[in-house]
Amino acid sequence: MKKNYKIAVFGGGSWATAIVKMLSENMNEVGWYMRNSSVIEHIKRNKHNPNYLSSAELHPDKLFLSDDINEMMTYADYLIFAIPSAFLKQELDKHTVSLDGKIIFSAIKGIVPETGLIVGEHFHEKLKVPFKNIGVITGPCHAEEVAMERLSYLTIACQDAEKANYLANLLASRYLKTKISDDIIGTEYAAMLKNIYAIAAGIAHGLGYGDNFQAVLMSNSIREMKRFIKKLHKMKRNINNSAYLGDLLVTGYSTFSRNRMFGNMIGKGYTVKSAMFEMNMIAEGYYATKSAYKINQKKKARTPIIDTVYAVLYKKKDAKKEFKKLTELID
């Protein structure tokens, strides 16, 4: 295995910016695709992303920046996608170059709405990338804390341990610890599901439930996550590991959590449309809720929390009444 692969990050948001920052500390050059050419010019001149994590200092001399997705796919051996799942398909529809031999890592915590697939499955089923060339980057880790260089942890999952280790070593730094896993499907579904549970935590907070209920909600959420993932991909995994439980907790409790913020607004009476408009950010859990609910219509895991969030967001049920029912279903 050669040791000088070229790596490119796809996306212009917080996660993409954080990953570029991490890689730049250990590499001489990092590719970075974003569709906004004016942002690219701003980064070259001012050494920071004007829209996301603007406090994070970037090093343009170490960056190969492009607004041409095909140029970047041709350039890189490892392709790290951090584009919000709601926009992933429309970006991939622009590509015309072959992905043969490319290593795809997803840092996307969501479902592709058009296909109802997690990102790894989408690349495998729709773009014919073999699972051995697909990996996942998951937390517990908020991009905002990476920008502040607070101690953070990442899990890099791939069937091929050598590929996982290669990327894990390039992401590791004095403030970022990494570990690897072979549970691609489980870690990616966990990253998707925890956004739904964070919305539930936010709704509960917005309705006025306290810390005692939040603790019970999170306890039930990790057990529900375990039941759901087991139905989809049965293998030996410890659901209490950081990639599952840790990522759930940070997303459910953190003030940086967009999904918790979105849920909090719903609990306070905002409509879905007005909450999204005011946030001006993507809450991945909104799309994930519909996909998880539909998947579970076939898999039949017991998922009272997902069902409750779905009822509030998509059936327009009264949040207060639905959460009152939920309190009788969890323990």
Antiparallel, parallel or unpaired: β 78-81 and 63-66: unpaired
b vs e for 264-286, b when ≥16 Cβ sit within 10 Å of the residue's Cβ? Answer: bbbbeebebeebbeeeeebbbbb
- Evaluated on CA atoms 275, 280, 285, 287, the torsion sign reads positive
- Evaluated on CA atoms 165, 171, 173, 179, the torsion sign reads negative
Residue in 329, 291, 288 with CA at minimum distance from that of residue 308: 329
Residue in 82, 63, 85, 95 with CA at minimum distance from that of residue 9: 82
Strand partners, 10: 33, 81
* Active site positions, annotated: 194
Contact 15, 107 (CB under 8 A): yes
Antiparallel, parallel or unpaired: β 134-138 and 103-106: parallel
b vs e for 145-165, b when ≥16 Cβ sit within 10 Å of the residue's Cβ? Answer: bbbeeeebbbbbbbebeebbb
